Structures are given as C-alpha cells and as structure tokens.
A and B are shown apart, each in its own frame.
Chain A
Amino acid sequence: MTRFRLNPLNQRRWQNFKRNRRGYVSLWLFSILFVITLLAEVVANDKPLLLWYDGAPYFPTLVTYPETTFGGEFELEIDYRQDYAQELIEPKGWMLWPPIRYSYDTINYARMAPAEPSLDNWLGTDDQGRDVLARVIYGFRISVLFGLALTLFSTIIGVIVGAVQGFYGGKIDLFGQRFIEIWSGMPNLYLLIILSSFVEPGFWWLLGIMLLFQWMTLVDVVRAEFLRGRNLEYVRAAKALGMGNVRLMFHHILPNAMIATVTFMPFILTGAITTLTSLDFLGFGLPAGSPSLGELIAQGKNNLQAPWLGITAFLVMSTMLTLLVFIGEACRDALDPRKYYSN
C-alpha cells in the first residue's frame, strides 16, 4: 500500500488506520475473503481446472468441450462429474479438480435435498440439492461486487450533484435541494418492487433501479463542504490566478469534501449489501437461481429442519457486515484530524 507516493498527510492517516488494530485486521481478513471469492470459478467449480488427455492439455473452465473430444457419443458438453466422463478420460490422462467440486448451480442428485453437511458437501446442500458452500462463495462475491458498484456510482453522482449545488449556490442549490427532498420522500422499497415486476431484474437493472434512490446520501455532505470551501482563501487565490470553474471545483475544493465522502463510503457499502440481501429474501432481487445470500436466508426460513442453511447464511452475513463496519470505523478515525494516537 505504501509503495505509491503518499503525501505526509495521507501517510499519517495510513499510520492512524494501522494503529486501529481491529480495523486493520478486518481489512486483511476482508481482503483475503474477497480475493478468494473473486476467484470463485477456481475455488468451487463442477469442471476440472486442468485436464490432460491423450498428451494434450485442456482447460474446461475456459473452453466448452463436447463429449466427442474425449471419444464420447454426443455433441453436448460433457458432464465431468459423472462416472461416464471419468471412465472416458482416466485411461488416457488425468483431471485437476478445484477444492470444491460444485459450482453454484450444480445439483447433487446423489443425496436427498436438503442434505446435511458431509465430507462431500461441507456445508450441506439446499432444498434443491445445490452445494451451500459453493453458493455462499459465489453469493459473497456478487454481494460485495454489487455493493461496491452501487457505492462507486452513487458516490460519483452524489459528489457531482453536491459539488454543483454547493459551488454555484443560489437558484441551482435551492431547486436541487427541493428536488432531493421530494425524491427522497418516495417509498423506494415499493417502487423497487413495482419496477422489478415490469422488467426481469438482472444485476445491472437492479443496480440502476437502486441507484435512483441511493445517490442522495452524499449530496448534503459534499454540498456543505463546497459551500464552505468556495470561500477559502486558497480557492479565491486560485480563482484570481484565472482558474476555470471545473478545475477549481475538482482540484481545490473536492479534496476537502473527500474526507466526509470517504468516511461515509464503507457505511454506504454495508447499506447497499443489506438492501440487496433483503430484496433477494423477499424474492424481488436477482433472477431465480442466482447465488445470493438473501435467497439462502429465505431457504433457511422455509427449511427449519435443515438448520445449516439458516446458520450459514447468518454467519456469512454477520461476518461480512461486521468486517465492513470495523473497516469503516477505522477509516473514519484515520481521517479524523482531531483523533490522536499516542504510543
């Protein structure tokens, strides 16, 4: 992290962040989990990572091979988990499997669904026979990515709107604020439900719909910082140098507003993840079959006789949100100029 050049201020902040042990450890744990789940296809998949057949390598996770490649009968993709595939391949080569031989949508027909945890399915299977651990890994990834994307876009929009309102003030500010007041008064959960019944909401649709109501979080903070910042002497000095408005806003005033923004971001992220999970729980979220933590919670509720579903969902959600909140707290402390850490 310290490789790229940080100015002294940011160096001090990074030191402050590291001094908050809880936040620092949380950042590491979260990063490890996030990297692992980013590589979900390599960690949990129903295809071998590498396949050696007849003196040549094959990469089933990247390329789709028909059965005929390995001397089978049909032009369909081969199901590597079946005994039939192994009988075809084993004599002339070998397969390297990922640690978990299930993808999020692989159905284990061998056991009665939902099946309790076993050596094969480490966290058991859900009520459609899919491996819970694989689904958790994919679900974690999609939750975090969704949260990050929503945070990123709502930050960009929020900062721009707040900056324009605060910098120009006057009528723009007045009408902007009134619009936000009306817009934030909309019952957004109902609107989400209504909208998601018009379209089949995929990842991007859902992101767009939620963005409609999420961008306002930062506007007030950024606006306030810009109202204050435009009267700072160094901003005036830059204006006297002949600097244009856009550069003035983003080069000189924005860095002041960034502290408030960065402080808010981890909490926007946790909020976004929770919202997505609750929509999935209600069945208005991601399309059916997608790996999602909300859907796992719903399954846990519907299958009380299979406690591993509910317990897993609870543990994963609470761990993820706890780590994020700890990181957020450490960020907030690191950026607080009054916070003072002594040895």
Chain B
Amino acid sequence: MDKPLLAVNDLKISFAQGEGRVEAVKGVSFTVNAGETVGLVGESGSGKSITALSILQLLPENAQLRGAVQFNGESLLDFSRAQMRQIRGHKISMIFQEPMTALNPLHTVEKQIGEVLAIHLGLDRSAATAKTLELLELVGIHNAHTRLKAYPHELSGGQRQRVMIAMALACEPTLLIADEPTTALDVTVQRQILNLLSQLQDKLGMAILFISHDLNLIRHVTDRICVMKDGEVVEHGTTDEVFASPQHPYTIDLLNAEPAGKPEPLSNNSPAVMNAENIKVWFPIKKGFFRRTVGHVKAVTDLSLAIHQGETLGIVGESGSGKTTLGLALLKLQSSEGQVQFLNQRIDTLDQKQFRPLRREMQIVFQDPFGSLSPRMTVADIVGEGLDIHQLASSHSREQQIISALADVGLDPECRNRYPHEFSGGQRQRIAIARALVLRPRLIVLDEPTSALDRTVQSQIIDLLRSLQKKYNLSYIFISHDLAVVKAMSHRIVVMQGGQIVEQGATREVFAQPRQEYTRELINAAFETDQSV
C-alpha cells in the first residue's frame, strides 16, 4: 500500500488555562487511507473533536500543538495561514454536528454553497448556480431549484444537514471530516444521512474521518476505528475485529453500555396520579397590522392520557412532535386547554398562584444538565431552594434533607458547597434529580434526561431513576426520542406524531407488534443496527 492520505503522528494538544496548561490530547496517532472510512469513537471529553479540528488548525488561540499531521505527504502543521485556507474546504472539508448553527441564517442556500465555489474554484455566478443545483441534487434534496433561494430556517433539520454536506462536497475534497454529523437529527433522518454519505463516498471516492460517540452508527459505516479515552487512543483496528473481540476494558465497557433491563412490574390496582383529557396547545400565528390570528401551530391536539402511581409512561416521537410541549403543559408551565386532574383535583382551573403549593408534588428534570442549574448557586442552594419556597424545613433539617437527597442520587454530600461547573454532565443531571426529589414529589416529568449524556453515564442514570422509583413509589413521565432508553424505562409508551397520539400501549407489546406504520419505522430506524448483527 502507498502512503496514507492522512497520517497523524503523536499529536499532543494542550490549552492554556489560568496559570497552567491542560493536556487535552496526549499523543494520538492514526492514519486514514484514500477512499476509506475511519471512525473516531469516544465519550465526551475524550478529545476526538479537538483532534479533528486540529487537522484543519481550527483550534482557539490558546491551544498548543505538537506532533505531526501529514496530509498527502505534506506537513499541515508547518503550513502558513494562506496555505491552510487553500486546504480547508477544498482538499479537506468538514461537517459539523449542529446544522442550525453551522449555516449562516442570513444567507440563502445558493449563496452559502456558491461562496465556497467562488473562493476555491473561482466560478462566476451562473456557473456557481449551476454547480450548486447539481450538488443539491447529489445530496438528495427534492426540487432543488426551488430550494436555491431558501434560508436555513425554512429547511428541516435533515435538509440543513444535506445542505451542509453539499457545501462540504462542493470542491470534491479527498478527505471529509464528519464530526457527529447525525447526532442532532431524528433516527429516521439519521439513517437517510448515513446512507447518503456512503453513496457519495462510493461515487466520489473520498476518505471519511467519522467522529461519533454512538457505537451503533460507527459500526455501521466505518472500515476501521480508533477508540479514544482521555486524549489517548486506547484501541484501534478494523471495525469487525474491534466489535468481535474488544481488547481494552474501556472498549468492552462502551460496548456493554447499551441501556438494558426492564422497569419494575407494577401492581394492578395502583391508583391514578394524573388524568389528562383533550389537552390542546395551539400557538396562534398572527399576521398583518392588526395582528389577526390567521392560523395555528398545532403543537398538541386533543390528547388524553393517564398515569398511575409508581408507573413510568414513556412518550416518544421525533423532534417537533410536541412531546416537550405536552410535558410543560401538564405541569402548567405552558398554557393549554383541556382537563387535567392531579390527585383527584382539577388543576387546569387553578391560576398560577393557587397552583403554586401543588408544584411540590410534580417536578421536572430537563434535558440539558448545563442549562438547568444556575451557575451562580452552590449545589446545596440549588437543591435546598425548593425547601425554602415551600417552607418544608427548619434550617437544621434543611441541611439534613439536602444531604439525604444528594445521597439518594449517589452524590457525595460533601460536595454540596461546590458550584455546578465543577461537575460532569452526569453528575449535574444527578443534582437536577436531587433538586426534584428533595420535595418528595409524586410525579416527575423527565424531559430527555439522558439525551445529553454519554452511553455509559446514561445507563447509570437509568438505573438510578429505576431504583428511586421503587424506593419512593414515584410516577414518571419519560419523554425521549431515544427508543432504547424508553424501552428500558417505561411500563407503557405513547408514540406521538404531529401533536397527536399515534399509538399507545404496554411497552413490550408496542415494541413486539407495532400496529402503526410510523411506529414500525421508528423502531426499525433505532434498532436496525442491532438486528443486523
């Protein structure tokens, strides 16, 4: 075999931080051959994205690079800025994770793709438009000519990602770096994008460096993989080898981290905690000078559900199906219509003030463990705040209750005087759960509580939630797009699409025999790679 296309040799990256330096990548080596797909796997913080960015020298100013990056036999680290610009987007291009923020919201699709063509290939306007059209068709956007003048917000998530790919492919790069290209997308769209990438690879013969935390994906698309942990490559080899006989304990951990297990069986006669009937959340669309309502965005329409003591009700659906809005509406954090009964009391007729005392009975845990904790409060203040509001504790027992809530969620109570930024994502999510738990609620709405976490941490959180449910006989409304997690958590599930229930029933039955086409599609997309083993 001749020289590899990309050879990274003993790459070390450190960042200046405060007085010292933090080593993020500690001597990583790997190669990518022409036309091959190499996967870079690891959990968040393992240094995989930084490694990828360093290849294009897109790291912030305070980063220091050592080692060697050879591309086509030339050392990229010795390149000047002007030389690097010739490489970026031309020879090596990149797809980012978040298609919403990676496209400029003020430019049309045509302009964004045309810009790349103008810079690197020097095409004039009409030639660029023709080429753009060709690219959009290549990435499978239907009616491409009508989409040329579209702005990013007029496109769906999948379409935006396709536009990003079109941009990346505009100059027919020899290497494409895909940094979690499908993480922000729904499962069904995810699969389309992956298929698209492998088709394009066949057609154009480029190499792909595929970065992901998702082992299922990686297994599906790559030829070889490198497993990264704490800035080091702990294992590498062909994909089949690594999956068949993982050598390093960390790889084995990762492979076993798929959420597993079942919820505790439920006694038949447990009473209903919440009953909701004909819930409707419509956002009016107002137009014109007098702001007349011309239509509605129907987030949730005529939806009824019930949840029993000690039960987990899973709500699944793709983004935009209205599941989060439903969760907020049930807690009266979002105004809605319809009847809601909680512990045999009508709560939809109460105003916010009357409802406030009842809030301690129903709590919520949000998706983003970084956004949901106030950065200016200590852990003890965050957890204890609910106690203060509802005046549930004297100053002595307050401390005790905080300690026991932290112990419940598996955190060292000694850490209660620290601030959220000192904790990892999984620990923060535990703090958020402790905040809900300290009030001894009956019902907790879990809004994608594990989606921002790594797989290994996810399973820990799921185990924790299940054990807390058993201990305190809690009811959960578990909202997620991740079917594997929902399957491990829920007694019953509700499948939502377009604000309405498509299918509901006991988890086992729904997964075994989905009655609706949509449910079947979802399940196939999520578990396909498992079944193909």
Contacts and interface: CB of A to CB of B under 8 A. Distances in A.
Interface of A: 7-9, 232-234, 236-244, 247, 252, 255, 340, 342-343
Interface of B: 16, 19, 62, 328, 331, 333, 356-360, 362-364, 366-368, 371-376, 385-386, 389-390, 419, 421, 432, 435, 439
A224 to B, nearest CB: 18
A241 B368 contact: no
B373 A242 contact: no
Given A240-B331, A242-B359, A234 B385 contact: no
Nearest to A239: B333
Say what secondary structure dominates the interface of chain A.
helix
A12 B328 CA distance: 37
A343 B19 contact: yes
Nearest to B368: A233
Nearest to A343: B19
Given A232-B371, A233-B371, A236-B366, A9 B376 contact: yes
A9 B362 CA distance: 33
Contacts of A342: 16, 62
A237 B419 contact: no
Contacts of B373: 234, 237
Contact of A233 (B372, B386, B389, B390): B372
Nearest to B382: A234
A237 B19 CA distance: 35
Nearest to A341: B18
Nearest to A245: B352
B359 A241 contact: yes
Contacts of A237: 364, 366, 372-373, 432, 435
Contacts of B328: 236
Nearest to B422: A8
Given A241-B386, A242-B359, A233 B366 contact: yes
Nearest to A242: B359
A234 B372 contact: yes
A138 B43 CA distance: 65
Given A233-B368, A236-B366, 13 more contacts: A232-B371, A233-B366, A233-B367, A234-B373, A236-B333, A237-B372, A238-B385, A240-B363, A241-B363, A242-B357, A242-B390, A255-B376, A340-B62
B438 to A, nearest CB: 10
A244 B435 CA distance: 17
Contacts of A340: 62
Contacts of A236: 328, 333, 364, 366, 372
A342 B367 CA distance: 34
Contacts of B390: 242
Contacts of B358: 242
Kindly name the residue among A240, A243, A247 whose own CB sees the greatest number of chain B CB atoms within 10 A: A240
Contacts of A247: 389
A232 B374 CA distance: 9
A179 B376 CA distance: 34
A239 B374 CA distance: 13
15 contacts: A7-B376, A7-B419, A8-B419, A233-B367, A233-B371, A234-B372, A236-B366, A237-B373, A238-B385, A240-B333, A240-B359, A242-B360, A243-B389, A247-B389, A342-B16
Nearest to B365: A237
A242 B390 CA distance: 8
A244 B419 contact: no
A252 B374 contact: yes
A240 B364 contact: yes
Contacts of B432: 237
Contacts of B374: 234, 238, 252, 255
Nearest to A232: B371
B44 to A, nearest CB: 19
Nearest to A8: B419
Contacts of A252: 374
Kindly name the residue among A232, A237, A255, A340 whose own CB sees the greatest number of chain B CB atoms within 10 A: A237
Contacts of B389: 241-244, 247
A8 B16 CA distance: 18
A213 B439 CA distance: 47
A56 B386 CA distance: 63
B375 A241 contact: no
A249 to B, nearest CB: 13
Contacts of B16: 342
A243 B386 CA distance: 8
A242 B372 contact: no
Nearest to A340: B62
Nearest to A256: B376
Nearest to B19: A343
A173 to B, nearest CB: 14
Closest 3 CB pairs of A and B: A242-B359, A233-B372, A233-B371
A260 B380 CA distance: 27
A89 B74 CA distance: 95
A232 B373 CA distance: 9
A255 B375 CA distance: 10
Contacts of B362: 240
Nearest to B360: A242
A338 to B, nearest CB: 10
Nearest to B21: A342
A9 B375 contact: yes
Nearest to A10: B376
A255 B360 CA distance: 25
A306 to B, nearest CB: 55
Contacts of A9: 375-376, 419
B442 to A, nearest CB: 14
Nearest to B372: A233
B369 to A, nearest CB: 9
A47 to B, nearest CB: 50
A55 B421 CA distance: 67
Contacts of A255: 374, 376
Contacts of B371: 232-234
B299 to A, nearest CB: 16
B391 to A, nearest CB: 11
Kindly name the residue among B62, B328, B376, B386 whose own CB sees the greatest number of chain A CB atoms within 10 A: B376
A253 to B, nearest CB: 10
A244 B376 contact: no
Nearest to B371: A233
Contacts of B385: 238, 241, 243
Contacts of A241: 359-360, 363, 385-386, 389, 435, 439
A255 B19 CA distance: 27
A287 to B, nearest CB: 45
Contacts of A239: 333
A91 to B, nearest CB: 67
A232 B376 CA distance: 14
A233 B366 CA distance: 7
A232 B357 CA distance: 23
Contacts of A242: 356-360, 386, 389-390
A290 B9 CA distance: 76
A13 to B, nearest CB: 12
A199 B432 CA distance: 58
A19 B530 CA distance: 56
Nearest to B367: A233
A255 B372 CA distance: 15
A342 B62 CA distance: 9
B286 to A, nearest CB: 12
A239 B331 CA distance: 10
